[in-house]
Amino acid sequence: MYRSICLAIIGCTFFAGAVAQDSVPVSTEEIIVSHVDEETTRALALLETTVNINSGTMNLDGVRAVGRIFSAELDDIGFSTEWIDGAPVARAGHLVAHRGDRGPKILLIGHLDTVFAVDSPFQKYAVVDEHYAAGPGTTDMKGGDVIIIHALRALQAAGVLDEISIKVVMTGDEEMPGRPLEIRSAALLEAAKWADYAIGFEDGDSNPRTAVIARRGTTTWTLSTSGARAHSSQIFQPDYGDGAIYEAARILNAFREELSAEPNLSFNPGTILGGTIIDHDDAASSGTAFGKTNIISGVVRVRGDLRTISLDQRETVKTRMQEIVARHLPVTDASIEFTDGYPPMAPSDGNYALLKLFDQSSRDLGFGEVAAVNPRKAGAADISFAADYVEMAMDGVGLMGSGGHTLDEVADLRTLSMQTKRVAVLLYRLSQQQ
C-alpha cells in the first residue's frame, strides 16, 4: 500500500512538472528563429529561381522579371508594391514596397541586377555541395534580397510585423546606375528621408563576422595637360618648356607623394593617353595616341577615380588635387575636372549603435560577435544615398560567399539562415525600443 502511494505521488509530481514545462510561453524571438529554420528550404528555392533569371543591368526584361518575383513575395505578406519605371535613365526601374504605420520606420535596401550580361557564360544556379552553391548574383545580391523576404516572413509568423513600418527598395541598376543619379536614386532618397533606420543587404566583405557602417564614395576625375610642340632637342629650353607628358607625370607623382597617406583615401589613374595627338572615347574607356620620340608632347589625358570616406574629405581632397595641378612646369598648362558618383557613407555614432545592436543579436543567437568592416574593403553601394538621412545605417548583412563579380561567385548557404535570424531579431528588437 505504502509503495503504491509513493509511486502515485512520484507519478503525479512528474506529470505536474511536465505540464509546467509545456506551459512555459515560447518567446517571440524563439518563434522567429524556429520559423526561419522551417522556411529555409523555401528560401533556397527562391534563391535558385531568381538566380536562374538573367538580370544583368542592361537586360531590362530580366531585371523586371526578378522584380515581379520579389514583388509577389512582398504582396503575399501584406505589402503595397510599386514598380518605378526606369525609362528616364534608360534602365529597368526599381521595386518599392511599403507596409505598416506603427513603430520605427525602417528602410531595407537590395538590388535586382547583376554584373552578368545575357551573353555571359555564367547563367545558372548550381549546387556545389551541401554547403555551397554557385551562380550569378548568389551573393551580390539576390541572396540578400531573399534574406529580406525570409526575415519579414519570420516576423509575420511571430505576429510582430505590424509593430514596425517597413519600406523595401530593390533597385534595378545598382551595378551600372543610370544617369543622372539624382533621378535614378529619387525613390531611394524619398524612402531614406522617411526612414529612421536603413539596412542594406549587400554581402560586404563576405565575412559573416563583419558588417558595414562606412562606405567610401566614388568620384571620377579627368586630368588634361598641354605643352608646346617642338623638336625634342629643344625640351626644357625657356621657349618650349617641359612638355605635356612631364607635366602629367609631375602631377600624378605629387598626388602619390602628398595624398597617399591620407586615411581611407584612394585615387587611381586608370587610363592615360599622351603624345602629339590623342583621341579618347570616354564611353568606351579607350582611345588612341600618336607621337614621335623626337617631338615634345603636346597633350595628355588621364582618367581616374577617387574614393573618400566623407563629404568633407571629398571636398578637401579635391581642393588639394587642384592646388597640385596648378603648379605648372615651364610652358605647360593643366586642368582637372571631377564628376561625383555614389556619395560616401561616413561612419557615425548612430551607425556604430546599430552595429552594436546587431552584434548583440548575433551573440544572443549563439553566432558570435560582429565587427565593423574596414572601409577600404567595402565598395560603393545604394545605402550611401540613404545614410545621411537616417539616424542609423548599416550594410553588408546579406548572404556571404566568395568570388562576387566573377565567374567564380559562390554562396555559403550556411549563412542564409544565420543572417536571416540576426536581421529578423534585430528588426524585432528595434520594434520594442521606445
- Specify the number of domains making up the chain: 2
| DSSP letter assigned to residue 20 | H
- pLDDT at residue number 264: 95
**pLDDT tens for each residue of 237-246:** 999 999 999 9
pLDDT at 10 over 90: no
Mean pLDDT score, 67-81:
98
Is there a single domain that holds both residue 94 and residue 132? yes
Is there a single domain that holds both residue 401 and residue 278? no
Rounded to whole angstroms, the Cα distance separating 184 from 174 reads 10
Task: Give the three cell numbers for residue 419.
Answer: 543572417
CA proximity to 205, closest of 419, 400, 423: 400
Which of 247-261, 280-294, 316-330 is predicted with the least confidence, judged by mean pLDDT? 280-294
Is there a single domain that holds both residue 329 and residue 360? no
| DSSP letter assigned to residue 296 | -
**pLDDT tens for each residue of 358-416:** 999 999 999 999 999 999 887 789 999 999 999 999 999 999 999 999 999 999 999 99
- Residue 140: other Cβ atoms inside 10 A: 26
Element (H, E) at 32: helix 28-38
Is there a single domain that holds both residue 113 and residue 258? no
Q: At what angle do helices 414-432 and 28-38 cross, to 10 degrees?
A: 150
User: Is residue 433 packed enough to be buried (19+ CB in 10 Å), middle (13-18) or exposed (0-12)?
Assistant: exposed
Give the angle 203-215-260 at the CA atoms, nearest 5°: 125
Which of 7-11, 43-47, 52-56, 149-153 is predicted with the least confidence, judged by mean pLDDT? 7-11
Assign residue 290 the CATH number of its domain. 3.30.70.360
- pLDDT at residue number 179: 94
Which of 81-95, 108-122, 156-170, 282-296 is predicted with the least confidence, judged by mean pLDDT? 282-296
CB 219 within 8 A of CB 305: yes
Is there a single domain that holds both residue 234 and residue 254? yes
pLDDT at 5 over 70: no
| Residue where the block lists cell 544556379 | 125
pLDDT at 284 over 50: yes
Mean pLDDT score, 186-197:
98
Question: What DSSP line would sit under 143-171, residue for residue?
Answer: HHHHHHHHHHHHHHHTT-GGGSEEEEEEE
Is there a single domain that holds both residue 289 and residue 325? yes
Mean pLDDT score, 78-82:
98
Strands (E) in 42-87, as ranges, are 80-85
45: domain range? 28-215+345-432
- pLDDT at residue number 125: 98
- pLDDT at residue number 26: 81
Task: Give the three cell numbers for residue 185.
Answer: 536614386
Is there a single domain that holds both residue 269 and residue 401? no
| 345-383 residues labelled b (16+ CB within 10 A) or e (exposed) | bbbbebbeebbebbbebbeebebeebebbebeebbbbbb
**pLDDT tens for each residue of 247-280:** 999 999 999 999 999 999 999 999 999 999 999 8
Strands (E) in 33-113, as ranges, are 80-85, 93-99, 105-111
**pLDDT tens for each residue of 123-150:** 999 999 999 999 999 999 999 999 999 9
- pLDDT at residue number 15: 36
- pLDDT at residue number 380: 85
Name the more confident of 286 and 365: 365
pLDDT at 300 over 70: yes
Mean pLDDT score, 200-220:
95
Q: Is residue 23 part of a domain?
A: no
Is there a single domain that holds both residue 145 and residue 195? yes
| Number of Cα atoms under 13 Å in the Cβ half of residue 156 | 17
Over pLDDT 70: what percentage of the chain? 94
| DSSP letter assigned to residue 70 | H
CA proximity to 313, closest of 279, 344, 341: 344
User: Is residue 329 packed enough to be buried (19+ CB in 10 Å), middle (13-18) or exposed (0-12)?
Assistant: buried
Q: Is residue 166 part of a domain?
A: yes
pLDDT at 21 over 70: no
Contacts of 110 (CB under 8 A, 6+ apart): 70, 141, 144, 145, 148, 168, 169, 170, 171, 200, 201, 398
- pLDDT at residue number 246: 98
Q: What are phi and psi of 35, to 5 degrees?
A: -65, -40
Q: Is residue 403 part of a domain?
A: yes
Contacts of 231 (CB under 8 A, 6+ apart): 294, 295, 296
Question: What is the pLDDT confidence band of residue 325, given thresholds at 50, 70 and 90?
Answer: very high
Question: What is the pLDDT confidence band of residue 24, given thresholds at 50, 70 and 90?
Answer: low
Task: Give the three cell numbers for residue 94.
Answer: 526599381
- pLDDT at residue number 411: 98
CB 102 within 8 A of CB 46: no
**pLDDT tens for each residue of 89-111:** 999 999 999 999 999 999 999 99
User: Would you call 235 helix, strand, or coil by DSSP?
Assistant: coil
Amino acid at 298: G
Mean pLDDT for the chain overall: 93
Is there a single domain that holds both residue 191 and residue 240? no
Q: Is residue 141 part of a domain?
A: yes
Is there a single domain that holds both residue 208 and residue 61? yes
User: Would you call 423 helix, strand, or coil by DSSP?
Assistant: helix
Ordered strands of the 217-227 beta sheet: 266-275, 299-308, 217-227, 332-340
Name the more confident of 193 and 5: 193
Strands 126-127, 210-211: pairing is unpaired
Assign residue 193 the CATH number of its domain. 3.40.630.10
**pLDDT tens for each residue of 107-117:** 999 999 999 99
- pLDDT at residue number 255: 98
Is there a single domain that holds both residue 138 and residue 222? no
345-to-76, 168, 213, 215, 321 alpha-carbon distances in Å: 33, 19, 8, 5, 22
